Structures are given as structure tokens and as C-alpha cells.
């Protein structure tokens, strides 16, 4: 058996850990290929959430009663686990947010409004999710800064040379996704971080599609801020992380004001609490944070290097097999390519593709994937997208390929 094939079958048994995958959809075994939108949840995460509500539910960081102390301990324990998961130096560098979108908005507001001025430049790429574009558009408008976009290679990859051509002494922020949610490209973040720092800029990384699938070591990457979402990495919805280097987070002013984020308040003035509370105004998503901590335990138990190899092997196999079907165009490079495969069948709207696949029990996404500038670059209105995670196997790729062949025949020849 080839190495790649061994990897593809290696994680099949984890499917048992995901209760929802036992469902039948439209009379077929559920083939869930929409994890880039949101992942399914293992029983351990679901049970952890229930256990918290059944045994320890209370507000955190306020009362001194036993339940409140237990809740605070579990909440802070999760922060430590997540810090370990991304190799952060300190737990207080983990700021809980609602997700990637909120994290990026906070960085743009708190760092951008404070440190950017008219004429400064923000370097992005045309593949960014709207969450890593619109906060920068808005910031640029507020302070009079300019957006600059890295040129893509023909297959959509970003090279260090192309990044270097856009980064100059006016650059103050470089904001890039580590993995594209449409093209499955893996960007050379560590090298681009060096370029950013050479001109005194900071680098902000959208890790929504990378943190679930790869080992993330923020120190080795040499980055300044990282945003990611719990729900794409087996955790609950409504919880995410803003990680930043301690000294950068310390320099930020809060953007949400109210309970828990203060040190001292009188009628006219207030001073701010230490990190992380300063950036977590109001009651946080306590159970979300605890569920996300449990999700990182599960991922580490399976092993991130295994997950990374498995997902990349599956994705590249799907890419290769879909590319060989007549009338099917697959986007992005053939390798390395991870997590997602975006494609179109000539003459068939991707929504129709998704509908036919749903009738076969296969869940994929169709649309612009919150990346309209990339759709413009690809010169398409939308794509179909299959995305993979640790619970998928080569059986799922077989089902996808068969269903795409069926869809093509159906629209070419009629039912
Ligand atoms: N960035 C990328 C690359 C994504 O794929 C997504 C979600 O699909 C986001 C940002 C936004 O994540 P969320 O909706 O969890 O905030």
C-alpha cells in the first residue's frame, strides 16, 4: 500500500466518535464534506458541555462560591490548554472571542485605530475571506490608509517573492490566511512574517482553516496576531480565539467596555484590568471555551501530525480524481493542497450540484464562500466546495466522485 493510501484509511475509525455521522440523509449514509464551514463534534465535546451545565454552571471571575470557583477553574484551564495547542508563551495571550471574524475585527479596531495613520499600507491577498478583508477596508477608510494586494500565481498560490513585491516601508500590517478556504493553498506565513518585520510591520494571520488541520506554533511562525474559530475544530459555535504577542496585546485599548474588563471605576473614569480580562468585556462564552478546550484534547489525542497528513492526502486525492472527470474544473494547485476542493461542472450551477449531492446524502457547500474578490479573480460567480476533516475517508471521496459523475450525466443527458 502506498504511503498516501495508508494515511487515507488510517483515521476511518474516528467516525464512531461523531454521533451525527450515524445519520441517514435522504436514505443514504451521511457523507459530511462541509467541515470548512463548520466541523462536526465528537461525543467527548458534547458530553463535556452537558457535564459543565449539569455540575458546575456559574458565572466566572465574580462570585466566591464553590460553583463559581469550579467554573472559573475550568474556564481558565481551557485557556491554558488552548495556549498549549498553539504553543503560545502565556495563557493570557489567549483572548476568547466569538470566532475568527470577531478576532480580526478586534485587531483592526484596537491595533489599527491606535497605530495606523493616513498613507500607511495594509498588505492583503485577493484570496482572503471577507472576515480578513472588510475589517481592513473599514480601517483604511477610517484612518486614510491604503490596501495593497499580493499578485497570485496562475494557480492561486502566494509566493514569498510576490509578497516581497508588495511589502515596503509604508506597510504597517500584513494580513493573510494561512490556508485558503477556497483554493486549499498553504501560504508561506513564516517567510512572509520575516518580510513584514524587516519593514517594521506586524503580521496578522487568519488561522480559521489552518489551526484545525495543522500544528500551529505561533512562536516558530514568528507572527504577531492569530485569529481562529472553535467551531471549525470540533468545538462549539460562538467561541473563538484572538492570540497576540503579550507586549502587543498589552499595548491595545479595549474595544468592548463594561463588566469584568476594568480595574477601578468612578463616576467619570475607569482603568483597565490586566490581560486577558481587559479584552474580554462582559460574561464570556464559558461553556464554549470549556468545550473548545475539550476539542483540543481530542485533536491532540488523535495527533495533529496524523490529522494534517490525513486531510492533505484525502484532499489531494479528491483533487486528482475530480480533475480527471470531463467538464470538471478544479481550482487551486494540485499539491500542496489541503482541506478544501473547489470545483465547477461546465454548464451546471454549483447550487444545482450541491442539491443533487444532497439527494445522495452528501453535504457540500456551494456559493462564493465569503470570498467574492477571489471569485472575480477566478472569473466565476460561485463554486462547489467539498471539504475534509479527520472523520472523512477515501470511501467519502469515492462517494463524492461517483455523485459528481452522476450529476454531470444528469445535466448533460437529462434524468
Ligand atoms: N476566515 C476563513 C479563512 C474562513 O474560512 C472563515 C469561515 O469560513 C472565516 C474567516 C470566518 O470564520 P467565522 O465565521 O467562524 O468567524
Q: What is the DSSP string of 54-76?
A: HHT---SSS--SHHHHHHHHHHH
Give the residue from 254, 280, 301 where a domain finishes: 301
Are 261 and 329 in the same domain? no
Are 11 and 76 in the same domain? no
Give the pLDDT confidence of 326-381 residue by residue, as tens digits. Answer: 999 999 999 999 999 999 999 999 999 999 999 999 999 999 999 999 999 999 99
Are 118 and 25 in the same domain? no
Q: What is the CATH number of the domain that holds 386?
A: 3.90.1150.10
Q: Which of 209, 236, 239, 385 to mutate to test the pocket of ligand 1 (most atoms within 8 A of CB)?
A: 209
Residue 96 CA to ligand 1 center (angstroms) comes to 16
Residue 16: CB partners within 8 Å, gap ≥ 6?
none
Give the residue from 277, 301, 325 where a domain finishes: 301
pLDDT tens for each residue of the chain, 415 residues long: 455 555 555 566 899 999 999 999 999 999 999 999 999 999 999 999 999 999 999 999 878 899 999 999 999 999 999 999 999 999 999 999 999 999 999 999 999 999 999 999 999 999 999 999 999 999 999 999 999 999 999 999 999 999 999 999 999 999 999 999 999 999 999 999 999 999 999 999 999 999 999 999 999 999 999 999 999 999 999 999 999 999 999 999 999 999 999 999 999 999 999 999 999 999 999 999 999 999 999 999 999 999 999 999 999 999 999 999 999 999 999 999 999 999 999 999 999 999 999 999 999 999 999 999 999 999 999 999 999 999 999 999 999 999 999 999 999 876 5
Q: What range does the domain containing 253 cover?
A: 46-301
pTM of the complete model:
0.97
Are 277 and 297 in the same domain? yes
CA distances from 202 to 3, 144, 271 (A): 39, 18, 27
Give the residue from 250, 271, 301 where a domain finishes: 301
Residue 165: CB partners within 8 Å, gap ≥ 6?
150, 151
Per the structure, the count of domains in the chain is: 2
Percentage helix, strand, coil, to 5, in the chain?
45, 15, 35
Give domain status of residue 318, yes or no: yes
Give domain status of residue 38, yes or no: no
Are 251 and 134 in the same domain? yes
Give domain status of residue 159, yes or no: yes
Q: Provide the grid cell at 393.
A: 475517508
Q: Is 100 in the pocket of ligand 1 (CB under 6 A)?
A: yes
Q: Is 95 within 8 Å of 242 (Cβ atoms)?
A: yes
Are 162 and 212 in the same domain? yes
Give the pLDDT confidence of 96-129 residue by residue, as tens digits. Answer: 999 999 999 999 999 999 999 999 999 999 999 9
**For the CA of 101, the nearest atom of ligand 1:** 16
Give domain status of residue 41, yes or no: no
Give domain status of residue 371, yes or no: yes
Task: Report the C-alpha gap between 227 and 186 in whole angstroms.
Answer: 16
Task: Report the C-alpha gap between 228 and 49 in whole angstroms.
Answer: 20
Give domain status of residue 374, yes or no: yes
Are 267 and 312 in the same domain? no
Backbone angles phi, psi at 398, to 5 degrees: -55, -45
Alpha-carbon torsion (368, 371, 376, 377), positive or negative:
negative
Task: Report the C-alpha gap between 54 and 63 in whole angstroms.
Answer: 19
Q: What is the CATH number of the domain that holds 221?
A: 3.40.640.10
**Beta carbons within 10 angstroms of residue 355's beta carbon:** 12
Are 238 and 368 in the same domain? no
Which of 255, 370, 375, 395 is flagged as catalytic?
370
Backbone angles phi, psi at 290, to 5 degrees: -65, -40
Give domain status of residue 37, yes or no: no
Q: Please report, to the nearest 10 degrees, the dihedral formed by the alpha carbons of residues 17, 309, 192, 208 taken in order.
A: -20
Are 358 and 371 in the same domain? yes
Are 218 and 351 in the same domain? no
Q: Which of 35, 38, 131, 207 to mutate to test the pocket of ligand 1 (most atoms within 8 A of CB)?
A: 131
Is 323 noted as a catalytic residue in this protein? no
Are 373 and 399 in the same domain? yes
Are 101 and 238 in the same domain? yes
Give domain status of residue 40, yes or no: no
Q: Is 129 in the pocket of ligand 1 (CB under 6 A)?
A: yes
Amino acid at each position: 500500500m502506498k504511503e498516501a493510501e495508508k494515511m487515507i484509511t488510517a483515521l476511518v475509525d474516528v467516525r464512531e466518535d461523531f454521533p451525527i455521522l450515524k445519520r441517514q440523509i435522504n436514505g443514504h449514509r451521511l457523507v459530511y464534506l462541509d467541515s470548512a464551514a463548520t466541523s462536526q463534534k465528537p461525543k467527548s465535546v458534547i458530553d463535556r458541555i452537558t457535564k459543565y451545565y449539569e455540575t458546575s454552571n456559574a458565572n466566572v471571575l465574580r462570585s466566591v462560591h464553590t460553583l463559581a470557583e469550579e467554573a472559573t477553574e475550568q474556564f481558565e484551564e481551557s485557556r491554558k490548554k488552548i495556549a498549549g495547542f498553539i504553543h503560545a508563551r502565556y495563557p493570557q495571550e489567549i483572548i476568547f472571542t466569538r470566532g475568527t471574524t470577531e478576532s480580526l475585527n478586534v485587531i483592526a479596531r484596537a491595533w489599527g485605530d491606535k497605530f495606523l495613520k493616513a498613507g500607511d499600507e495594509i498588505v492583503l491577498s485577493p484570496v482572503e475571506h471577507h472576515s480578513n478583508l472588510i475589517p481592513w477596508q473599514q480601517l483604511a477608510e477610517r484612518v486614510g490608509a491604503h490596501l495593497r494586494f499580493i499578485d497570485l500565481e496562475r494557480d492561486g498560490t502566494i509566493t514569498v517573492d510576490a509578497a516581497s513585491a508588495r511589502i515596503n516601508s509604508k506597510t504597517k500590517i500584513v494580513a493573510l490566511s494561512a490556508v485558503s478556504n477556497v483554493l486549499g493553498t498553504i501560504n508561506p506565513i513564516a517567510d512572509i512574517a520575516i518580510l513584514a518585520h524587516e519593514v517594521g510591520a506586524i503580521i496578522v494571520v487568519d488561522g480559521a482553516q489552518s489551526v484545525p488541520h495543522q500544528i500551529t506554533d505561533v512562536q516558530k511562525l514568528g507572527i504577531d496576531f492569530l485569529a481562529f474559530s472553535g467551531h471549525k475544530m470540533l468545538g462549539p459555535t460562538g467561541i473563538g480565539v484572538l492570540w497576540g504577542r503579550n507586549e502587543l496585546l498589552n499595548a491595545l485599548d479595549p474595544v468592548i467596555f463594561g463588566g469584568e474588563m476594568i480595574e477601578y471605576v468612578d463616576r467619570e473614569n475607569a482603568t483597565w484590568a490586566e490581560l486577558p480580562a481587559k479584552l474580554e468585556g462582559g460574561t464570556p462564552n464559558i461553556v464554549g471555551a470549556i468545550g473548545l478546550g475539550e476539542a483540543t484534547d481530542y485533536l491532540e489525542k488523535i495527533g495533529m501530525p496524523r490529522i494534517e497528513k490525513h486531510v492533505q492526502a484525502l484532499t489531494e486525492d479528491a483533487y486528482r480524481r475530480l480533475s480527471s472527470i470531463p467538464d470538471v474544473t478544479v481550482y487551486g494547485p494540485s499539491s500542496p493542497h489541503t482541506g478544501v476542493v473547489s470545483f465547477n461542472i461546465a454548464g451546471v450551477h454549483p447550487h444545482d450540484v450541491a442539491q443533487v449531492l444532497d439527494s445522495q446524502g452528501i453535504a457540500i457547500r456551494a456559493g462564493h464562500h465569503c470570498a467574492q474578490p477571489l471569485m472575480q479573480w477566478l472569473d466565476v460567480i460561485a463554486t462547489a466546495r467539498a471539504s475534509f476533516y479527520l472523520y472523512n475517508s477515501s470511501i467519502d471521496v469515492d462517494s463524492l466522485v461517483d455523485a459528481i459523475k452522476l450529476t454531470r450525466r444528469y445535466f448533460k443527458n437529462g434524468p
